[in-house]
């Protein structure tokens, strides 16, 4: 086959890694990015007010390793901060409380990584490769996947402004000249509002769903402690080795550490609460004091809290699923373009980077012909669409765990049982769902299946156990009743039965 030209759309983390994989295999690679070069200090990363930190875990790291670039992973990991567990914040008798919950009984951890730092590092690697050309401020506007031609607007004025909503950028009025580009294979890594996906739909019978949850997010910033005399910089205000959560049952506030000793925090709140606080700004601090104790005044000054709430955008959370992810031999979508998910499992970027590793494992195994690539892409779509769908669902479900279950004794009991079993009887192969997702590379759909099976076994064991207890209790009460012959006892039994049913219901919710 003639030397092939791979065109990558989007130079986010997924696009940059995909370009590195393609270039490493000797293809001619061109990367087209709508925005300016992230390494230019004028350019603000898409969707965030500043560079933010994300949780990176095994799948993302494994995909970076498979790029086979000496020193790449080490240089990225030295800039990360290990997060060994969640720190659950609350209040008890007027005092602030913190409860550390380790992620993993084997001591494994996830890492807080600066998203822009990671992205820039990948772009720097691309710069070194002679077979890669990068085009910033180029917006994909059209594509013909049969003729293998694409059209771009070359934007005369770079988009350096902060976008309230990424779809607004796609719709921004043209300030540009159009160019036509020929390609052999297009990799669409252009995020949740993907233009590649939009054009792909015209060529393949793509099933597509998108749904919003009734929660918006707003970013906050927790500064380091002020520097004291003799020290050049301050310190972390709270433990740097945890992902901090203030669970609020229907909503939550979280904080992730940054290497400059600050924290990026996020408020997740139903839209009607945002509307209420927007209309009643004086209620913001009391709201925080009530639900997120110790944040207002202690971690973020009250005036800063108010300012950040007002100035930072309140953004939606979307889930996007589609199938297939490819067309013939000429196009595939990866990352958020193929599967945008809510951020509650910390897997969006990890899953996108994993897409790249999985895709190239299929391409590497295929014949180096267009027909070979067609089969490889079909096989990739068949494997990856159920996995993408599974992690989208798991991420949605994990919101319940983060904002409410982390404080529930039943959740903690299940975690304890699963972890103890994983150590005591390793051949059973038990593990928590979290550790399978974050510390392994098992397919997401397989993890979902195993977690459901484990939950089922636990539920039945617990039901058996509770059943035995209940039988014993009923028998004891019956004997007592016979002995006393008191009618009041039957009312007690009735109440006990209702209580057991309620407990059973709660257990079922956590296990299944």
Give the up-direction half-sphere exposure of residue 419: CA atoms within 13 A in the CB hemisphere: 16
Nearer to ligand FAD, 35 or 261 (CB): 35
Q: 221, 263 in Cβ contact below 8 A?
A: yes
CB of 335 to ligand FAD, least distance (A): 2
Q: Which position among 111, 137, 265, 266 is part of the footprint of ligand FAD (CB under 6 A)? A: 266
Residues 131, 137, 138, CA angle at the centre, nearest 5°? 70
Name the residue nearer to ligand FAD (CB basis): 13 or 293.
13
- Pick the binder of ligand FAD from 46, 332, 392, 406 (CB under 6 A): 46
- Residues 129-148 close enough to bind ligand FAD by CB under 6 A: 139-140
Task: Answer yes or no: are the C-beta atoms of 194 and 340 closer than 8 Å.
Answer: no
First-to-final CA distance of the chain: 51
User: Ramachandran region of residue 366, left (φ > 0), alpha (ψ -120 to 50) or beta?
Assistant: beta
Kindly report the backbone phi and psi dihedral angles of residue 250, in degrees, each rounded to the nearest multiple of 5, phi listed first: -95, -5
Considering only 10-18, 66-74, 296-304, 322-330, which stretch makes contact with ligand FAD by CB under 6 A? 10-18
CB nearer ligand FAD, residue 132 or residue 189: 189
Q: Does 454 bind ligand FAD (CB under 6 A)?
A: no
**Residue count of the chain:** 512
Q: Interacting stretch for ligand FAD, rule CB under 6 A, among 86-94, 186-194, 358-366, 495-503?
A: 186-194
Task: Report in angstroms how near the CB of residue 62 gets to ligand FAD at its nearest.
Answer: 13
Structure tokens at 175: 């300030």
Question: Residue 350 CB, nearest distance to ligand FAD (Å)?
Answer: 4
Q: Which is nearer to ligand FAD, 55 or 447 (CB)?
A: 55
Instruction: Indicate whether 248 belongs to the interface with ligand FAD (CB under 6 A).
Output: no
- The tokens of 307 are what? 């300012």
User: 444 with 388: CB under 8 angstroms?
Assistant: yes
Q: Could you tell me which residues come within 8 angstroms of residue 148 by beta carbon, excluding any fewer than 6 positions away?
A: 182, 183, 184, 186, 330
Q: Rule CB under 6 A: say whether 55 interacts with ligand FAD.
A: yes
Question: Would you give the binding string for ligand FAD spanning residues 200-219, x where CB under 6 A is met?
Answer: -----------------x--
Beta bridge partners of 320: 210
What is the C-alpha to C-alpha distance for residues 403 and 89, in angstroms, rounded to an integer? 11
Q: What is the contact mask toward ligand FAD in residues 345 to 364, using x (rule: CB under 6 A)?
A: -xxxxx-x------------
> What is the C-alpha separation between 24 and 356, in angstroms, rounded?
13
Q: Which of 4, 8, 33, 293 binds ligand FAD (CB under 6 A)?
A: 33
**Rule CB under 6 A: which residues touch ligand FAD?**
9-15, 32-35, 46, 54-55, 139-140, 170, 189-191, 195, 217, 266, 335-336, 343, 346-350, 352
């Amino acid at each position: 086959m003639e030397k092939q030209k791979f065109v990558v759309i989007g130079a986010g983390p997924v696009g940059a890694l995909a370009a590195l994989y393609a270039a490493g295999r000797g293809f001619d690679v061109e990367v087209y990015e709508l925005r300016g070069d992230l390494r230019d200090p004028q350019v603000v990363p898409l969707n965030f007010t500043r560079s933010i930190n994300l949780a990176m875990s095994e799948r993302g790291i494994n995909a970076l390793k498979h790029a086979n670039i000496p020193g790449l992973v080490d240089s990225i990991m030295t800039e990360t901060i290990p997060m060994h567990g969640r720190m659950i914040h609350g209040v008890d008798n007027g005092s602030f409380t913190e409860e550390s919950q380790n992620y993993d009984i084997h001591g494994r951890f996830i890492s807080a990584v600066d998203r822009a730092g990671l992205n820039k590092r990948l772009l720097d690697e691309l710069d070194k490769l002679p077979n890669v050309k990068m085009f910033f401020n180029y917006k994909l506007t059209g594509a013909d996947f049969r003729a293998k031609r694409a059209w771009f607007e070359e934007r005369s004025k770079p988009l350096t402004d902060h976008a309230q909503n990424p779809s607004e950028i796609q719709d921004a009025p043209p300030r540009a000249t159009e160019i036509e580009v020929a390609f052999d294979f297009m990799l669409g890594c252009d995020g949740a509002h993907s233009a590649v996906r939009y054009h792909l739909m015209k060529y393949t019978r793509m099933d597509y769903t998108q749904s919003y949850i009734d929660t918006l997010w707003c970013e906050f910033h927790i500064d380091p402690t002020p520097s004291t005399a003799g020290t050049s910089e301050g310190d972390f205000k709270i433990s740097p080795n945890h992902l901090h959560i203030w669970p609020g049952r229907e909503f939550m506030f979280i904080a992730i550490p940054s290497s400059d000793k600050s924290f990026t925090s996020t408020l997740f709140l139903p839209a009607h609460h945002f509307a209420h606080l927007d209309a009643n700004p004086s209620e913001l601090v009391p709201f925080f004091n009530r639900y997120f104790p110790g944040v207002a005044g202690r971690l973020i000054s009250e005036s800063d809290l108010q300012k950040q709430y007002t100035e930072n955008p309140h953004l939606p959370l979307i889930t996007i699923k589609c199938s297939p992810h490819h067309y013939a031999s000429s196009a595939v979508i990866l990352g958020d373009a193929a599967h945008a998910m809510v951020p509650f499992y910390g897997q969006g970027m990890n899953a996108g980077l994993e897409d790249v590793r999985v895709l190239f494992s299929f391409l590497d195994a295929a014949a180096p012909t267009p027909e070979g690539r067609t089969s490889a892409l079909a096989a990739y779509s068949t494997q990856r669409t159920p996995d993408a769908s599974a992690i989208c669902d798991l991420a949605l479900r994990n919101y319940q765990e983060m904002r409410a279950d982390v404080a529930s004794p039943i959740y903690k009991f299940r975690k304890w049982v699963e972890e103890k079993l994983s150590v005591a009887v390793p051949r059973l192969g038990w593990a928590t769902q979290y550790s399978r997702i974050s510390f392994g590379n098992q397919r997401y759909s397989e993890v979902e299946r195993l977690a459901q099976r484990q939950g089922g076994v636990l539920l039945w064991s617990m039901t058996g156990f509770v059943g035995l207890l209940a039988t014993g209790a009923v028998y004891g009460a019956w004997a007592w009743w016979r002995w006393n012959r008191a009618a009041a006892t039957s009312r007690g039994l009735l109440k006990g039965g209702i209580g057991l049913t309620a407990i059973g219901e709660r257990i079922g919710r956590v296990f299944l």
